[in-house]
Chain A
């Protein structure tokens, strides 16, 4: 029930607390000395502000010609990353889709087979769609992703002229192949498990991973 605080009895505590008991009114405050505009020159000060601003450099970025870089951690278009040997990081777990507050992500997982291996481990994302008409770029999907498969780029030019074009497929989102990567499907690095992949032990593709097609 009532706890005894600072030696006060229960009945005393039943009295409603006054602001002065809480010390709300004891907070220090400063009186800012704001002198009113005095005299003719005081009233003319605003004119000087606008006049002198005319000779300052405009802050406008001439956008289509000049593209100013975004902040480093700007939330732009998503990207599906790859392991250093080219296998996809996405395991089709759908956690991103579940995390999405705007219901913008659709994922369908599929089992990896020896003939068709897209990612290390059991599963990969077969269908991966992000609807940029719904996405609010909150980044919760990135926080949800257990394999760092999903990250965001700084790309912000996402306007288009139809709804269909703004639903990005897996092919649109996948990171490009870099040096040392092989286009999946291909087998895993010899003698490596998915845990090794996860820990970053795989540095690049092994010649034996190349499939003869």
Chain B
């Protein structure tokens, strides 16, 4: 019986209970991840991090939430009031929604019923997640626009451009998974990974997904939307109190969600790591939830690690990387994967498959060598002491000299006339 059939027979009350559990898991993971991130980043900077509220500072996030809720809620006069209020709500709700299709456990018994800990299973589950994530961008854009202030507007534009561009790369990296699993349903994809994780089989896809999910969540080193030195707080500069808390919550739920998605699509979801398959039956199947959470937490740790290590990218570099590297590479990779897949399905002889694969590898290596040579030539060509050449990036045009001089003269003349 597939997971879809299992879940399909759930009675209404069980669905409600599951929804509650999914929500609780989301919120708890978020609270813990805020604390965890601060502690881990602190340790990476050789300081202890929050350790005042509760044992090891565990309820620091909760205390922060209470503090935020008690703050004065300011709505700027220039703000578009209704949109200003709706924006954080959009942000916060959409990020929870994508968790509905994430399979947390395999087959388990819940209140005497055979089911799986997954709220719903739709045939286009992954597309649904992408769609919901796109709706989440509205929260950011509208927040930036409705604040009626410059920095939020710029921040909102930046982050929407960023999220949209990286969503393309993300979506393309998932195509290879769809091709291999033959399905877009999350539970089917997990089921397809019982023998081999896609992180191994489709490593390039996994790498692209891992990079683009950092961009997608507006996290360091891609947190250009909140570049403090340039844009104050980015799109949420004007937000305070609970509305700010909602954005904050959304950011962390998003991290948890993309981590869960990566786990589901590439790391075998709730399945135990290879060699530990016997643990999946422990606790009546509930032990799989622990594997799932462990994988999510590992991803989260990588997020924090990135933040602790890398400096923020410049905006144009970031966009160039997204459009000129990630997207072309993923398109090429899809071509290769599709061809390989067709060859295998048509039961082509192994020699053909190997020949195709080696040709592809050869071409990639040749291109790489060519690139390196061009690079070396370029480096060697730089003339000594020549700084008159145009810079390779866009610069504002220089003021034209004659006009400036004439204005100075005019003002001088008028000054002289008055005497």
Contacts and interface: CB of A to CB of B under 8 A. Distances in A.
Interface of A: 46-47, 49-51, 53-54, 56-60, 62
A56 to B, nearest CB: 6
B309 A50 contact: yes
Contact of A59 (B40, B44, B47, B309): B47
Interface string B277-320: 00000000000000000000000000001001110000000000
Interface of B: 40, 42-48, 305, 308-310
Contact of A60 (B40, B47, B310): B47
A46 B43 contact: no
Contacts of B309: 46-47, 49-50
B47 A58 contact: yes
Contacts of B45: 53
17 contacts: A46-B309, A47-B305, A49-B309, A50-B305, A50-B308, A51-B44, A51-B305, A53-B45, A54-B43, A54-B44, A56-B46, A57-B46, A58-B46, A58-B48, A59-B46, A59-B47, A60-B48
B48 A53 contact: no
Given A47-B305, A47-B309, A49-B309, A54 B40 contact: yes
Contacts of A51: 44, 305
Given A46-B309, A50-B305, 10 more contacts: A50-B308, A50-B309, A53-B46, A56-B46, A57-B46, A58-B42, A58-B46, A58-B47, A59-B46, A60-B48
Q: Which of A46, A54, A57, A60 lies at the interface centre, i.e. has the most chain B CB atoms within 10 A of its CB?
A: A54
B43 A53 contact: yes
Contacts of A59: 46-47
Contacts of B42: 58
A53 to B, nearest CB: 5
Nearest to A47: B309
Contacts of B48: 58, 60, 62
Contacts of A60: 47-48
Contacts of B44: 50-51, 53-54
Contacts of A62: 48
Contacts of B308: 50
B43 A58 contact: yes
Nearest to A49: B309
B211 to A, nearest CB: 14
Nearest to B49: A58
A57 B43 CA distance: 8
B40 to A, nearest CB: 7
Contacts of B46: 53, 56-59
Nearest to A48: B309
A50 B43 CA distance: 9
B302 to A, nearest CB: 10
B160 to A, nearest CB: 30
B163 to A, nearest CB: 25
A26 B310 CA distance: 41
Nearest to B42: A58
- The 5 A-B residue pairs with the shortest CB-CB distance, nearest first, are A50-B44, A54-B43, A50-B308, A50-B309, A58-B48
A46 B308 CA distance: 10
Nearest to B44: A50
Nearest to B45: A53
A209 B40 CA distance: 66
A51 B310 CA distance: 12
Contacts of B305: 47, 50-51
A47 B302 CA distance: 10
B57 to A, nearest CB: 12
Nearest to A46: B309
A46 B47 CA distance: 18
A59 B46 CA distance: 6
Nearest to B41: A50
